[in-house]
Amino acid sequence: MTTFTTTQANTSTAERTVLSVSQLNRLAKHTLEQLPLFWIEGEISNLSKPSSGHWYFTLKDQTAQVRCAMFKNRNLAVKFRVEHGSKVVVRAKISLYEGRGDYQLIVEHIEEAGLGDLHRQFEQLKQTLNTKGLFDSSHKKPLPELPLHIGVITSPTGAAVKDVCSVLRRRFPSIPVTIIPTVVQGNGAAAEIIKALYLAQDCGLFDVLLITRGGGSLEDLWCFNDEQLAHAIYDCPIPIVSAVGHEIDFTIADFVADVRAPTPSAAAELISPNRIEYLNYFLGYQKQLSNVVLSVIKEKHAQVKQLRAQINHPGEKLQNQSQRLDHLEIRMQSALQSRIRSEKQTVAQLVKNFKRINLHSEITRKQELTAKCSKELTRNLNIKLNKLRTETINIAQRLNAVNPLAVLERGYSMTTFSSGEVITDSEQVAVGDDVSIKLAKGSIVCTVKTID
């Protein structure tokens, strides 16, 4: 009997697993935390806010209650006053506090009751539009690096427009900015924003648009969660920046826009370049251009100097032509003297022959021959002299064509320094210099007063 009891007890112990209380609570906590997030609505009671910054409270309705914990890193984002009796909607996950074995909710988000339906509508529309591809990054257009005209769709009396204009004026005041006025809150606001968006497209002035307004509650920003507005932003060919509310606020317009900015001021920073950077770029380009221009000028000065060295002075050419004329004259005189000598020899020979023949008849014949030869000689000499005269005249005319004095005779003048250096460029002289002007007859000494 005793053996049987012992055997039975040993068998029962081997077949079961015994958990400690801690293990049980840990297992229950792990199991509960596998469940997804829930939205729960109720009334806050037993609210406690210890120095750690965490919140502990009970969420209840008419028949039940549940303990809740909202840690500091989450409750810092709450934008309304949470107190005992507040009607709220929370988004939380189910957990278990192991120390007491209490089932509780870990709250991640809390809002005033009545906003839960709006949030559900928001999430539903967000999911629908995302499925349709309105949030697709491949469709988003890049912002212009240097916009030529910025359009701002907002309320003309709101704080956002002042912040935007202040930032744009500081960063790049030369970019024109046009405010397209519209209401940004309440019934009909979405239709007004769509109308302003179409107006901006039709006028053809803008290469970037900013849709913005300041912060507010979910209801205040609700017009930016309109489906028709989302499609209008998606279809707009102009890049659009959305800056609605504060950094923690998100709207459908933010998701559809090409760029989302956390605040209106940040949006103005995004769409406007920094003028200081552009000024530095321009100064760099100016310096490069100046260096290039100075290099070209230096090169051209060297070329002019080289070409000037290759040009012969007109006086040298005149001297060469004059020397050639002298040589021609010497050759002509030598040819005439040689011809005269030859003719004298002929005459002498004729006289000698004349003495050996019948004087009367020979004289008569020689006289006739002499007359003939004299006539022929005169004719040949005239022909030769006329030819040489014509050549001399042609040479003189060519020389006269390059003679600077002939240029002066036509009304031109030649300006030189007192050293005799010819002035060909106004950059060679300065106001107050004395220069000499050579005319066809005489010269004039002048003082430079102005330079054109």
Rounded distance between C-alpha atoms, residue 272 and residue 208, angstroms:
10
φ/ψ (deg, to 5) at 219:
-65, -35
For β-strands 38-48 and 65-70, DSSP reports them as: unpaired
**Residue partners of 77: CB distance under 8 A and separation at least 6:** 109, 248
First to last CA, the chain: 138
Q: What is the pLDDT of residues 360-403, one digit of tens each?
A: 776 777 788 888 888 888 888 889 888 898 888 888 888 777 77
Q: What is the pLDDT of residues 134-150, one digit of tens each?
A: 999 899 999 998 899 99
Average pLDDT over residues 168-181: 91
pLDDT greater at residue 249 or residue 392: 392
Rounded distance between C-alpha atoms, residue 378 and residue 374, angstroms:
6
Question: Burial letters for 263-287: b for 16+ Cβ neighbours within 10 Å, e otherwise?
Answer: bbbebbbbbbeeeeeeeeeeeeeee
Instruction: CATH number for 16-114: choose from 1.10.3480.10, 2.60.120.920, 2.40.50.140, 3.30.1180.10.
Output: 2.40.50.140
Rounded distance between C-alpha atoms, residue 314 and residue 367, angstroms:
56
Q: What is the 3-state secondary structure (H, E, C) of the chain?
A: CHHHHHHHHHHHHHHCCCCCHHHHHHHHHHHHCCCCCEEEEEEEEEEECCCCCCEEEEEECCCCEEEEEECHHHHCCCCCCCCCCCEEEEEEEEEEECCCCEEEEEEEEEEECCCHHHHHHHHHHHHHHHHCCCCCHHHCCCCCCCCCCEEEEECCCCHHHHHHHHHHHHHCCCCCEEEEECCCCCCCHHHHHHHHHHHHHHHCCCCEEEEEECCCCCCCCHHHHCHHHHHHHHHCCCCEEEEECCCCCCCHHHHHCCEECCCHHHHHHHHCCCHHHHHHHHHHHHHHHHHHHHHHHHHHHHHHHHHHHHCCCHHHHHHHHHHHHHHHHHHHHHHHHHHHHHHHHHHHHHHHHHHCCCHHHHHHHHHHHHHHHHHHHHHHHHHHHHHHHHHHHHHHHHHHHCCHHHHHHCCCCEEECCCCCECCCHHHCCCCCEEEEECCCCEEEEECCCCC
Asked if residue 427 has pLDDT above 80, the reply is yes
> What are the extents of the domains in the chain?
16-114, 146-273, 314-402, 409-447
Range name among 128-132, 301-305, 408-412, 437-441 with the lowest pLDDT average: 408-412
Does domain 146-273 match CATH 3.40.50.2300? yes
Confidence of residue 206 (pLDDT cuts 50, 70, 90): very high
- Highest average pLDDT, of 199-208, 294-303, 304-313, comes from 199-208
* Mean residue pLDDT across the chain: 85
pLDDT greater at residue 233 or residue 428: 233
Judge contact between 46 and 107, C-beta under 8 A.
no
Question: Is residue 291 packed enough to be buried (19+ CB in 10 Å), middle (13-18) or exposed (0-12)?
Answer: exposed
Helices 159-171, 264-271: inter-axial angle, 10-degree rounding:
30
Q: What is the pLDDT of residues 8-61, one digit of tens each?
A: 444 445 568 888 888 888 888 888 888 888 888 899 999 999 999 999 999 998
Q: What is the pLDDT of residues 183-203, one digit of tens each?
A: 998 888 999 999 999 999 999
HSE (side-chain half, CA atoms, 13 Å) at 170: 9
For β-strands 208-213 and 240-244, DSSP reports them as: parallel
Q: So what's the pLDDT on residue 56? A: 92
Rounded distance between C-alpha atoms, residue 346 and residue 217, angstroms:
139
Confidence of residue 115 (pLDDT cuts 50, 70, 90): low
Asked if residue 212 has pLDDT above 80, the reply is yes
